[in-house]
Amino acid sequence: MSQNLYIPKQYQPLLNLARTEKAIKLTKDFFERQLSAELRLRRVTAPLFVLKGTGINDDLNGIERPVSFPIKYMQETHAEIVHSLAKWKRLMLAKLQIKPGFGLYTDMNAIRPDEDLDNIHSLYVDQWDWERVMQPEERNLDFLKKIVERLYGVMKRTEYLLSEEYPELEPQLPENITFIHTEDLLRQYPDLTSKEREDRAAKEFGAIFIIGIGGKLSNGQKHDGRAPDYDDWTTESEPGYHGLNGDIVVWNSLLDRSFELSSMGIRVNQEALLRQLALAGCEERANLQWHQMLLNGQLPQTIGGGIGQSRLCMYFLRKAHIGEVQSSLWPDDLVEKCQEHNIILL
């Protein structure tokens, strides 16, 4: 398993274990407050698990197995550990009757047993899941970009605060984030894989928002997978281009690679849901409880996403491994190799 591990040359953590723990708390507390204020989001309590078969849990790329278990006092009905809360949040927005321009956020914790464990992937996932009610006329690329820029501003302010508190953590984010569509990346680098294209663009610009993830490109392939029932990845955002979603990706100079911090997008409406279910060959999902609520107009139009808490801490604290900012399980040989190279896992 340690073959998946990337070791930066002569790695020395900038903060020791005690200072790292304090910096993690400072990062999370500040970012959370700033996120709430910037997008006018109220904090809510979220579930760790939901009932199987309701359509509420996310499918992510459609291949990840959720952790499930039977409930003794509910006739052995099965529950699933959430993969994320993209669809659950729209239920809560409807329940709380939150108005357009306002929203909610929560701490999402998940277990993903199918992850390939390496520097940036763990069995344990922690992120801020957020969702905001929007007007139907805001279903366009300009609105998406506006929200991305505001989120990026929160990231910039967090990085600056940490550099003030810990001078060794020098800011690295560029002044502005660059927007680029997956189709443009393909045309610019037709002979590279999608991951290699991300690396090239992130290294050139420092911080990018990659638009249009989930739908097929002109070469018949997808840049990356997306479930068909939360982000809208088929609506035409501008002539020749599709997708009202994307990822915030930065260049991680320590790991010498692109580094995703957030996945987000304008969510499906009735038309996009049916279109994407058909493209994914899973039209039967339209009969599930959550999908019926959306098709019957019981859920608001929203924009939302997830922001990796450990990913954010790892990037801002200049850590080489996600296990330096979160406690999880790792293979013995990976732990040993990390120790040999000054990578201290929590």
128 with 32: CB under 8 angstroms? yes
pLDDT reading at 21 higher than 80? yes
Whether 52 has a pLDDT exceeding 90, the answer reads no
Whether 265 is covered by a domain: the verdict is yes
- Of the candidates 50, 60, 124, the residue with the CA atom closest to the CA atom of residue 92: 50
Q: Using the 8-state DSSP alphabet, how is residue 240 labeled?
A: T
**pLDDT of the residue at 174:** 97
Task: Determine what percent of the chain is predicted with pLDDT higher than 90.
Answer: 71
Residues across the chain: 346
Number of structural domains (the chain) is 1
Evaluate whether 318 touches 254 at the Cβ level (below 8 Å).
yes
Cβ neighbours around 277 below 10 Å, total: 18
Containing H/E element for 260?
Answer: strand 257-266
Q: Has residue 84 got a pLDDT over 80? A: no
Q: Is the pTM of this model over 0.95?
A: no
Q: How many CB atoms lie within 10 A of CB 53?
A: 12
Provide mean pLDDT across the span 149-173. Answer: 97
- Does some domain include residue 129? yes
Residue 63: what pLDDT? 59
Q: 111 in a domain, yes or no? A: yes
Determine how β-strand 124-133 pairs with β-strand 257-266. Answer: unpaired
Res. 20: pLDDT tops 60: yes
Helices (H), the chain: 17-39, 86-96, 141-165, 182-188, 194-205, 270-279, 289-295, 309-316, 332-340
Q: What is the mean pLDDT of residues 137-147?
A: 96
The average confidence (pLDDT) of the chain is 91
Whether the predicted pLDDT of 170 surpasses 60 = yes
- Identify the pLDDT of residue 175: 96
Q: What's the rounded Cα separation, in Å, for the pair 209 and 302?
A: 19
Residue 197 lies in a domain: yes
Neighbours of 280 (CB within 10 A): 17
Stretch 16-36: mean pLDDT, rounded? 96
Let me know if residue 345 belongs to a domain. no
Instruction: Let me know if residue 207 belongs to a domain.
Output: yes
- The pLDDT value recorded for residue 257 is 95
Say how far apart CA 266 and CA 246 lie, in whole Å.
9
Burial 156-169 (b: 16+ CB within 10 A, else e): bebbebbeeebeeb
Burial (CB count within 10 angstroms: exposed 0-12, middle 13-18, buried 19+), residue 76: exposed
User: Are the C-beta atoms of 137 and 306 separated by less than 8 Å?
Assistant: no
Q: Check if the beta carbon of residue 210 is closer than 8 Å to that of residue 183.
A: no
Q: How confident is the model at residue 2 (pLDDT cuts 50, 70, 90)?
A: low
Catalytic residues: 58, 112, 127, 247, 260, 263
pLDDT at 114: 80
190 Cα distance to chain centroid: 26
* Tokens standing for residue 270: 């009735």
Tokens of 16: 């020791």
* pLDDT-derived band at 302, boundaries 50, 70, 90: very high
- Round to whole Å and give the CA distance between 335 and 333: 5
- Range 93-98 average pLDDT: 95
Q: How far apart are CA 105 and CA 46, in angstroms?
A: 9
More confident residue, 97 or 67: 97
Its domain, for residue 210, covers 2-340
Give the CATH number, domain containing residue 153.
Answer: 3.30.930.10
50, pLDDT greater than 80:
no
Q: Is the pLDDT of residue 62 over 60?
A: no
Report which of 154, 62, 149, 139 is spatially closest to residue 105, judged by C-alpha positions. 154
Region 99-124: mean pLDDT is: 90
Please report the pLDDT score of residue 166 as a whole number: 97
Residues 224-253 have a mean pLDDT of 92
Cβ-based neighbour number of residue 216 at 10 Å: 13
Q: Are strands 49-51 and 77-81 parallel, antiparallel or unpaired?
A: antiparallel
Arithmetic mean of pLDDT, 239-261: 94
Is residue 145 situated within a structural domain?
Answer: yes
Is 250 within 8 Å of 173 (Cβ atoms)? yes
Q: Is the pLDDT of residue 105 over 90?
A: yes
What pLDDT score does 1 carry?
Answer: 54
Q: Which residues of 14-45 are buried (b: 16+ CB within 10 A; e: fewer)?
A: bbeeeebeebbebbbebbbebbbeebebeebe
Provide the pairing of β-strand 41-43 with 103-111: parallel
Whole-Å CA distances, 158 to 17, 113, 272, 290: 20, 31, 35, 36
Q: Give yes or no for residue 180 having a pLDDT over 80.
A: yes
In tens, the pLDDT along 183-208 reads 999 999 999 999 999 999 999 999 99
